[in-house]
Amino acid sequence: MAIKNHPNKNVNLNGWMNKLKRIEEKTERLGLLSQLGQILNSTLDHKEVRRRAMEAATQLMKAEVGSLLLIDEEKGQLYFEVALGDQEETIKKITLNIGEGIAGWVAQKGDPLIVNAPEKDSRFFKGVDERTEFKTRNIICVPVKVKERTIGVLEAINKKEGEDFDEEDLSLFISLADQVAIALDNARLYQELEEMFFQTAESLADAIEKRDPYTGGHTQRVTMYSLATAKHLPLKPMEMKWLKISAVLHDIGKIGIDDQILKKPERLNPEEYNAIKQHANMGAEIIDHIKQLKNIIPGVKYHHEQLDGTGYPEGLKGEKIPIIAKIVSVADTYDAMTTDRPYRRGLNKELAIKELRRCSGTQFDKEVVEAFVKAYETGEI
Amino acid sequence: MAIKNHPNKNVNLNGWMNKLKRIEEKTERLGLLSQLGQILNSTLDHKEVRRRAMEAATQLMKAEVGSLLLIDEEKGQLYFEVALGDQEETIKKITLNIGEGIAGWVAQKGDPLIVNAPEKDSRFFKGVDERTEFKTRNIICVPVKVKERTIGVLEAINKKEGEDFDEEDLSLFISLADQVAIALDNARLYQELEEMFFQTAESLADAIEKRDPYTGGHTQRVTMYSLATAKHLPLKPMEMKWLKISAVLHDIGKIGIDDQILKKPERLNPEEYNAIKQHANMGAEIIDHIKQLKNIIPGVKYHHEQLDGTGYPEGLKGEKIPIIAKIVSVADTYDAMTTDRPYRRGLNKELAIKELRRCSGTQFDKEVVEAFVKAYETGEI
């Protein structure tokens, strides 16, 4: 429709209105992209970033399904990190070789791709549709790159309302993939640092433990038992982390015990035993210097307290003993019972469990013993 | 201008064109917002996030100046984290009380604010303009919130081309502040984890060192000397980190040395001295279990090698000795010389420096000794 009196008489109002509509939609989607970027970046949990990436892909592309495939460089394969709800388990078992399928092509070339007629595209891998009874109508797929290196592929399948994917989708999807890459990389860096922390604490605790010739592998086992027990208790994720560090470092106070006592092959006399008992307080003192580890002091300091108040170093009773210390206490005692000492053989597992049960409610917390036994019965211990 | 024949005859074409122009601009700015979000989130270095936040504020708001003020909760004050180039040092000295000035108001209320005529606004704090000869024409200021808690304030001053800040600016600026909050929080979490790692390594290394009664504070001093020396050498930031960890853990192998040798107050006989020498290899073995610390093994293993090949454990010569080991070696020897031993008094600093110089080129690397002496002369050691 031509417009009278306008300098450019050929201006078409419908054209204008369409352009305005398109650009308004684009504005909305850019706003959404910005929001999705925030959501992606507001966690440093790698698994959670992966989940959010898939959701963001689905939402931004107005697609039926979104998925994230990551590259396993050693195997030269792409695996589905997350995928659609119902079919998740089926899809997770599917891997693509790099170069295979649309996603494999994108991973290999590092270029984005839209395929609006997959049945006519020789690159299309029919395996997923066949195994999931899902019908791929169209697909948009972009590389996820960290510093020029392709680490995976983000894809969305079946644009809603029967439309095809277009260049605008592609431009938005590339931006989303960039945000996904950043969020994944930050989460990876955080996770690697966390692993470095745990491994260093474990290695040093191990080295400290090795001075004591009768406890090879004790720290590792106590950590494993503690975490397995905690799974059956209502601990928060943060408390699980504190528990893990407490268990790893529970005996570091032994660094302050003299060789002649620590390495004595015979039973200790009361004075020597008193010296050994100092390790609980000494461990707490070492950790006291670590600002961010305040929360694990109770686990280290009180792992020899007993429910009836006959433990050490403070003779705390019942609910005064922190839950983390109660867990480490059961794990620690079980390991001591089931390993050999120079002056006695270790008990077998069943007898040790019986002994834990016998002392449940006096020495040990009942709920913790119950959780420990559950973990034992399910084969986790 | 009314349009004939259109269902809505009151549609005004100029109005349409203006609307289109505005919305096109908004689209462009949303694209920029998305880019800035990526830039903000692609680092976990807190200082770098702060710098980028300021730049992003300036760019997105088309302003002359952007700044980020963070809240010091203990002092109840806001301080300028980063500000404009020339005046940075002046501005950094200025703090605002919470509630004081526009930024202080925003920090207190947690609400965003535009002030297009600051001279008429009683909240405006004239101190910054007075001290910097800067003229504030208008100001837009939004809170930076992490999980509902205001941690700071992002502001932009003097919109370019004489315009006022408007509602669209505000909406974009709030989104930017959300991204800044996320990036700052991620960087803080990463930094806290890194500190926890260093503090734990230091505390455990300290505890291990404490078995040796003659070396109180040795680990800390060697770390400090090593880092001060490295400042005068062309080390990359990553190498500085490796150096720090190496220095902290350089003597952890001593955990494997028996008390009777480690605590012997007299000079050691050759056999005992050989046992002590094992600590270099033993330290390397402990670290070998920590996947992410492969790069610090050389620093721990070779900190007793000497340039002429007369050191241990491998008798490496010259350039075969890694730079990190060379640095720890000088720092370690200097500390050993300047502290008391049961069988001799420590040297004074000047004599120790003389001794380092005497052995430069035979025992020690010349450049490293030079760097150490520079650090000594500037009072860093």
Does the pLDDT of residue B105 top 80, yes or no? Answer: yes
Pairing of strands B95-97, A63-72: unpaired
User: Where, residue-wise, is CATH 1.10.3210.10 in chain B?
Assistant: 211-377
Assign B2 a pLDDT band (cuts: 50, 70, 90): very low
Lowest mean pLDDT among A250-254, A354-358, B96-100, B241-245: B96-100
- CA nearest neighbour of A341 among A203, A254, A218, A205: A218
User: How many Cβ atoms sit within 10 Å of the Cβ of residue A308?
Assistant: 14
Closest to A300 measured CA to CA, from B209, B200, B290, B251: B200
- CA–CA distance, A214 with A284 (Å, rounded to integer): 23
Asked whether the beta carbons of residue A16 and residue B20 sit closer than 8 angstroms, the reply is yes
Query: Is there a contact between A210 and B260 if contact means CB atoms under 8 Å apart?
Result: no
Question: Any chain A CB within 8 A of the CB of B3?
Answer: yes
Residue ranges of B 272-311 with Cβ closer than 8 A to chain A? 286-287, 289-293
Encoding tokens for residue A221? 């086992």
Residues A378, A237, B245, CA angle at the centre, nearest 5°? 105
The size of the A-B interface in CB pairs under 8 A is 188
Q: CB contact, 8 Å: A212 with chain B?
A: no
Question: Does any CB of chain B come closer than 8 Å to the CB of residue A30?
Answer: yes
Q: Which of A30, A192, A287 sits opposite B34 (nearest CB)?
A: A30
Element (H, E) at B128: helix B127-132
Answer whether B290 sits within 8 Å of A200, measured CB to CB. Answer: yes
Residue A116 at interface with chain B, using a CB cutoff of 8 Å: no
Greatest CA span in chain B, whole angstroms?
Answer: 110
CB B122 within 8 A of CB B113: no
**Chain B: residue nearest A38 by CA?**
B179
**What DSSP element (H or E) covers A44?**
none
Give this complex's ipTM. Answer: 0.87
Chain B residue numbers with beta carbons less than 8 Å from the beta carbon of A204 are 201, 204-205, 208, 252, 286
A315: left (phi over 0), alpha (psi -120 to 50) or beta: left
Instruction: Name every chain B residue with its beta carbon within 8 A of the beta carbon of A24.
Output: 23
Structural tokens at position B238: 């990553």
Inform me whether the pLDDT recorded for A90 exceeds 80: no
Contact A192 B292 (CB under 8 A): yes
Q: Which of residues 148-187 of A touch B (CB under 8 A)?
A: 175, 178-179, 182-183, 185-186
Mean pLDDT, range B10-24, rounded to an integer: 78
- Return the residue matching tokens 């931006």: A175
Residue ranges of chain B assigned to CATH 3.30.450.40: 13-188
Q: How far is A79 from chain B (nearest CA, A)?
A: 25
pLDDT per residue as tens digits for the range B262-314: 888 888 899 999 999 999 999 999 999 898 899 999 999 999 999 999 999 99
Q: Are B121 and B41 in contact (CB under 8 A)?
A: no
The model's pLDDT over B137-194, given as tens digits with 9 standing for 90+, comes to: 999 999 999 989 999 999 999 999 888 999 999 999 999 999 999 999 999 999 999 9
CATH value of B13-188 in 3.10.129.10, 3.40.50.2020, 3.30.450.40, 3.40.50.1820: 3.30.450.40
Q: How confident is the model at residue B59 (pLDDT cuts 50, 70, 90)?
A: very high
* CATH topology classification for A211-377: Hypothetical protein af1432 (1.10.3210)
